[in-house]
Amino acid sequence: MKARGLKRSFSDFKRHPWLHFISISTITIALVLLGVFFLVSRNLEFLAEKTNPQVSGTVYLKDGLMHAQVQELKGKLDRLEGVALVTFKTSNAIMLELQAFLGGNGSDVLRGSGLFPDVFEIQLKKDVPSPLVLELKGKIAKLPEVSDIDFSEDWVFHYRKVKRVISIFGSFLMIGIIVGCGFIIANFMGMRHQSRKNEIDIVRLIGGQNQFVLSPFLWEAAIEGLIGSILALTLLFVIKILLTGVLSAQWVTLLGLREWLYISPTQFLLVVAIGLVMAFLGSITVFLRFQENKGL
């Protein structure tokens, strides 16, 4: 039965090539749109990861602390919930770093010592929720050895918000594409169904049950979904190459992005799965329509 259904669906590809072409094109276009979204979001995420989207901060120490006090403070900071790494830097080390950053002229501009206090640089664990960061800030600020603190939570939270918005937008886009394209494909399938209504009626008259009638539709959906996905993935690869080609030297220097990344394996599988879901959605809709019209 499976082989027969497959054979019959292949015959229909020969009989109605344009209808199948339109269905496959619809799937491909929808998946390319979705894929471009995946491509952009993946590369944005990659850039964000490169710029280290973890909350970090600087704890400025009061002047004149003894070594033992500094060690005690380090212990307190290490034990705080959400803290990943605590590094001590003397005011001299900070000065040297700054001079190195400013280049040859730095030592001329930043002469002397005591411009900066000693500090602890704190790296928080990934995905520490914002209430905990605020709580940590409060706790650290109250420590007697601390004169001031400065955390980078604002932009990280902003980054997280953007990421959340992108993922919500992506989810809606996916649902919209699946439903919208499923509807379009269902209509094309419906056109094929109308063109084959006579055939279906005759097959039913000579004893063909729903399974026999519908198996070619399901095979067609599987074939269209796969072809549509493969075409979309190929086009996405071409788009990725083209985008890499237009990356300017400034962008490469500024962002460290030498080439656009292709979609991730999960996104790759998602594109194929959505292609199949869209095609099957079309078939199932035809099936339901067929159920309504099946009285003879």
Footprint on this chain of other proteins (rule: CB under 8 A): 1, 4, 11, 15, 198-199, 202-209, 212, 296
Residue 278 CA: distances (Å) to CA of 181, 228, 255:
6, 10, 37
Q: Which is nearer to other proteins, 119 or 200 (CB)?
A: 200
Q: Which is nearer to other proteins, 112 or 295 (CB)?
A: 295
Closest approach of Cβ 29 to other proteins, in Å?
A: 29
Closest approach of Cβ 15 to other proteins, in Å?
A: 5
The Cβ-side half-sphere exposure at 242, using a 13 Å CA radius, reads 8
Q: Which is nearer to other proteins, 8 or 89 (CB)?
A: 8
Q: Which is nearer to other proteins, 3 or 246 (CB)?
A: 3
Closest approach of Cβ 290 to other proteins, in Å?
A: 14
| φ, ψ of residue 129 in degrees (nearest 5) | -65, 155
Closest approach of Cβ 204 to other proteins, in Å?
A: 8
How long is the chain? Answer: 296
Q: Which is nearer to other proteins, 205 or 249 (CB)?
A: 205
DSSP per residue over 16-73, as a string?
Answer: -HHHHHHHHHHHHHHHHHHHHHHHHHHHHHHHHHHT--S-EEEEEEPTT--HHHHHHH
Residue 126, sorted as left (phi over 0), alpha (psi -120 to 50) or beta, turns out to be beta
Closest approach of Cβ 183 to other proteins, in Å?
A: 28
